[in-house]
């Protein structure tokens, strides 16, 4: 210690005082107290920062997950006079910089969407005396629009926004092209006015459906053919008259596959025509899409042109799409309803890259809805004195224009980042586009914009529970019985060896267990499936039989081994049995299962994957055994000795003591052990990743694979876009795992602490 060193230095010079001078002592004291303080604050800083770091995990995961449950919001940014008072069509470019309106006079007016300043203006080449009687817009992303004229002619235009970056600054140049020629096409030979029109670009060309003033419905397909030799492009036209035209037409829609035509009449019915083969087009059915007494006021496709959104005069909004029935025929089915608007729907504006849409009604309410999740993210009046007649959303859902009845345009910023999921959609069956019925599906991403993200957590959660269940089924009996024996019956010398061995098992990297399970165990089980079952069945019998026979073993041997060494006898027996079962397995297959159990299962309607729940159960069970064993063994071993001695002294057999005294006392600890094991099985990643096929399906078949929450994170997280809904849902999966295991472990820990206290009181 420092004072002593100082004093020994002092003795060399003077002998009067053994202590250093008072001043020096005070200095030393101050220095020591300073060091004491520094150490205190340093340690406190480190300790608290570690606690904070752990808290950050929770806080951060919650903060990443939070936004998926928040609703949408809008913010009004600019207001200006509309460049066009009687717009029949409006459009907004991706970055919210350029807008487009079209009017009845055939003028296309581009304008600056921030200021309202008019830009390029185009006049369509309308023939003398003809006026525009109808308008149609194809899939919004394609930018294709068509105008129907009073003389039976049609003009198709396509608008695009060309992006370039001169001097690192964004420049947007709007362009209009005419895919079917700049002069109008004579669609109707009888020169009847076209009252309603549907245009769409499909794989086989451009389709135009027209409803004429005299009540005829015609379908026209224009195919651009390039001459092989000259390179000249000619337009080939085929015209078909469709049967059973409705009396009135509100709106017509053709999907992008050019296979289905939907016609809404003013009475509230949707008529469905099958036009897969236009020459023999078929009227399939008419379905009332609104309540009795109400009318349809708007009908629009969602992106991908599979789902229809129907808006009624009562403000109702519903989603419809074609569903295949058992005879392979398609019928239009009601899928879901959205929150009702207070007045008749005026316009439905679909989003460009998601299954969402906006709707405005006659009272000026704006609704932001989403198809898959059936969410209504917003339903509010757009502004106090606003009466929007038309809206246009930007393709990236970040802004929209509202054209007011009084001739102004409002530019709104839109924040609607994560409408795709809702708590309900994640845990309930959802009817996805193109599916025959509601289902739980996890299929979160695809390359296409039209793709409907299916993010049901049920397949993953059930896969997690399935894997954990089979693992626990395998591990719990082995670990608990093993713990019982090791703690209470095993010879102490042997226990000293066995316990560390099992604990070493805990340290075995799971990637190695997964690798063995996937590349060694899975093929092994596949070829020796009957051996696995015969081992499971025969092992316990064999153990009891050995116990019985052991009584007749030579006395010398029995005494040499004594009690507590049964394991040593059993190990060779078990190894022998496993060896025999594997050897006999082909014979069993041959005798009972037509030579191949795996094939036999498949023939009997049981799907068999090579990497299945059985493999996972064994491999993950193997990983969980040491966790359960170690905690349960501790709990049983620490039961006070005087309890067992008392029981034995009263004449109970060791087994009776075990079952009636030791086990009840230690049971909370045993329970805690199982909980900890389950917690580990739920979160295990590498084993399930490597030993299952990772297909997210809902079933509990022992011979099929699964995909767990953790494996799903490992597979998908590196490939998702940061901040996307998919990304956040994966974070949610992580959060679910964290909270779940945290609760399980906490309860287990509390039980153990309680137990420890009880033991110390006994």
Range 420-479, binding another protein (CB under 8 A)? 477-479
Range 644-663, binding another protein (CB under 8 A)? 653-656, 658-659
CB of 590 to another protein, least distance (A): 6
Cα separation of 430 and 526, whole Å?
35
Which DSSP helix (H) or strand (E) runs through 688?
Answer: helix 686-691
Contact 308, 300 (CB under 8 A): yes
CB of 373 to another protein, least distance (A): 23
Q: Name the token pair of 637.
A: 């071993």
Range 680-739, binding another protein (CB under 8 A)? 680, 682-686, 689-690, 710, 713-714, 717-718, 722, 730-731, 734, 737-738
CB of 521 to another protein, least distance (A): 10
Q: Quick one: 370 or 485, whose CB is closer to another protein?
A: 485
Q: Name the token pair of 273.
A: 């025509």
Cα separation of 233 and 223, whole Å?
10
Range 172-211, binding another protein (CB under 8 A)? none
Cα separation of 262 and 273, whole Å?
6
Binding residues for another protein, rule CB under 8 A, total 116
Give the per-residue SS3 of 493-542. HHHHHHHHHHHHHHHCCHHHHHHHHHHHHHHHHHHCHHHHHHHHHHHHHH
Extract long-range pairs of 716-721: CB within 8 Å, 24+ residues apart: 716/444, 716/445, 719/445, 720/444, 720/445
Range 24-83, binding another protein (CB under 8 A)? 32-33, 35-36, 38-40, 42-44, 46-51, 53-54, 56-57, 60-61, 64
Q: Quick one: 220 or 486, whose CB is closer to another protein?
A: 486
Range 253-312, binding another protein (CB under 8 A)? none
Range 567-586, binding another protein (CB under 8 A)? 567, 570-571, 574-575, 578, 586
CB of 544 to another protein, least distance (A): 5
- Rounded to 10°, the helix 663-683/725-761 angle is 160
CB of 423 to another protein, least distance (A): 20
CB of 67 to another protein, least distance (A): 13
Q: Quick one: 51 or 105, whose CB is closer to another protein?
A: 51
527 phi and psi, to 5 degrees? -90, -20
Q: Quick one: 380 or 520, whose CB is closer to another protein?
A: 520
Residue the block writes with tokens 């020096």: 24
Report if residue 750 touches another protein, rule: CB under 8 A.
yes
Q: Name the token pair of 167.
A: 């001097």
Cα separation of 419 and 70, whole Å?
8
Cα separation of 516 and 514, whole Å?
5
Range 476-515, binding another protein (CB under 8 A)? 477-482, 484-486, 489-490, 498, 500-505, 507-515
117 phi and psi, to 5 degrees? -60, 125
Q: Quick one: 3 or 381, whose CB is closer to another protein?
A: 3
CB of 653 to another protein, least distance (A): 5
Q: Quick one: 246 or 518, whose CB is closer to another protein?
A: 518
Sign of the C-alpha dihedral, residues 682, 683, 687, 691? positive
Sign of the C-alpha dihedral, residues 669, 671, 676, 681? positive
Instruction: Single out the residue of 362, 539, 601, 643 in contact with another protein (rule: CB under 8 A).
Output: 539
Instruction: Single out the residue of 589, 609, 634, 704 in contact with another protein (rule: CB under 8 A).
Output: 589
CB of 501 to another protein, least distance (A): 6
CB of 427 to another protein, least distance (A): 20
């Amino acid at each position: 210690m420092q004072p002593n060193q100082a004093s020994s230095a002092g003795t060399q010079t003077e002998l009067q005082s053994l202590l250093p001078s008072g001043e020096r002592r005070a200095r030393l004291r101050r220095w020591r107290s300073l060091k004491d303080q520094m150490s205190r604050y340093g340690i406190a800083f480190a300790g608290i920062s570690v606690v904070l770091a752990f808290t950050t995990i929770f806080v951060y995961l919650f903060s990443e997950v939070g936004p998926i449950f928040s609703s949408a919001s809008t913010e009004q940014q600019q207001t200006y006079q509309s460049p066009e008072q009687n717009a029949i069509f409006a459009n907004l470019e991706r970055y919210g910089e350029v807008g487009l309106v079209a009017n009845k006079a055939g003028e296309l007016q581009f304008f600056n969407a921030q200021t309202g300043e008019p830009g390029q203006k185009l006049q369509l080449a309308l023939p003398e005396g003809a006026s525009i009687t109808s308008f149609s817009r194809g899939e919004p992303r394609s930018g294709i629009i068509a105008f129907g004229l009073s003389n039976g002619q049609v003009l198709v235009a396509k608008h695009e926004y060309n992006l370039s970056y001169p001097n690192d600054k964004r420049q947007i140049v709007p362009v209009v092209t005419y895919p079917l020629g700049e002069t109008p096409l004579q669609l109707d030979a009888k020169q009847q006015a076209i009252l309603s029109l549907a245009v769409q670009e499909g794989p086989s060309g451009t389709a135009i459906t027209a409803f004429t003033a005299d009540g005829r419905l015609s379908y026209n397909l224009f195919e651009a053919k390039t001459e092989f030799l000259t390179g000249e492009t000619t337009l080939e036209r085929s015209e078909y008259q469709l049967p059973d035209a409705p009396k009135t037409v509100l709106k017509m829609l053709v999907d992008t596959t050019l296979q289905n035509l939907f016609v809404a009449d003013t009475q509230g019915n949707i008529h469905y025509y099958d036009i897969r083969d236009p020459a023999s087009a078929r009227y399939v059915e008419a379905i009332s899409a609104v309540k009795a007494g109400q009318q349809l006021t708007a009908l629009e496709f969602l992106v991908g042109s599979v789902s229809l959104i129907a808006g009624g005069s009562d403000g109702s909004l519903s989603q419809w799409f074609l569903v295949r029935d058992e005879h392979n025929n398609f019928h239009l089915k009601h899928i879901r309803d959205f929150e009702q608007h207070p007045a008749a729907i005026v316009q439905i504006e679909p989003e460009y890259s998601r299954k969402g849409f906006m709707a405005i009604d006659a009272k000026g309410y704006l609704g932001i809805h989403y198809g898959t999740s059936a969410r209504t993210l917003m339903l509010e009046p757009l502004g106090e004195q606003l009466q929007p007649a038309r809206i246009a959303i930007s393709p990236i859902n970040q802004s929209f224009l509202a054209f007011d009845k009084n001739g102004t345009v409002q530019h709104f910023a839109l924040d609607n980042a994560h409408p795709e999921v809702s708590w309900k959609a994640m845990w309930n069956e959802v009817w996805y586009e193109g599916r025959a019925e509601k289902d739980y599906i996890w299929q979160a991403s695809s390359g296409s914009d039209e793709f409907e993200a299916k993010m049901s957590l049920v397949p993953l959660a059930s896969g997690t529970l399935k894997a954990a269940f089979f693992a626990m089924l395998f591990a719990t009996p082995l670990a608990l019985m093993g713990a019982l024996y090791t703690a209470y019956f095993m010879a102490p010398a042997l226990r000293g060896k066995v316990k560390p061995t099992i604990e070493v098992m805990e340290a075995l990297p799971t990637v190695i267990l997964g690798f063995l399970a996937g590349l060694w165990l899975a093929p092994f089980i596949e070829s020796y499936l009957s051996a696995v079952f015969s081992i499971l069945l025969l092992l316990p019998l064999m153990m009891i039989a050995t116990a019985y026979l052991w009584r007749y073993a030579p006395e010398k041997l029995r005494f040499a081994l004594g009690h507590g060494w049964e394991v040593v006898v059993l190990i060779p027996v078990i190894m022998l049995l496993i060896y025999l079962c594997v050897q006999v397995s082909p014979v069993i297959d041959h005798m009972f299962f037509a030579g191949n159990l795996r094939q036999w299962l498949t023939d009997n309607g049981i799907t068999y994957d090579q990497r299945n729940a059985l493999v996972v159960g064994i491999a993950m069970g193997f990983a969980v055994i040491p966790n359960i064993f170690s905690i349960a063994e501790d709990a049983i071993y620490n039961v006070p000795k005087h309890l067992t001695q008392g029981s034995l002294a009263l004449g109970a057999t060791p087994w009776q003591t075990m079952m009636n005294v030791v086990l009840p006392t230690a049971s909370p600890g045993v329970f805690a052990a199982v909980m900890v094991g389950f917690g580990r099985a739920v979160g295990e990643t590498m084993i399930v990743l490597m030993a299952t096929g990772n297909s997210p399906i809902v079933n509990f078949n022992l011979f099929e694979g699964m995909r767990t929450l953790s494996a799903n994170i490992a597979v998908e997280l590196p490939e998702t876009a940061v901040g996307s809904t998919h990304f956040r849902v994966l974070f949610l999966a992580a959060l679910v795992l964290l909270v779940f295991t945290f609760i399980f472990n906490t309860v287990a820990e509390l039980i153990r602490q309680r137990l420890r206290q009880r033991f110390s009181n006994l």
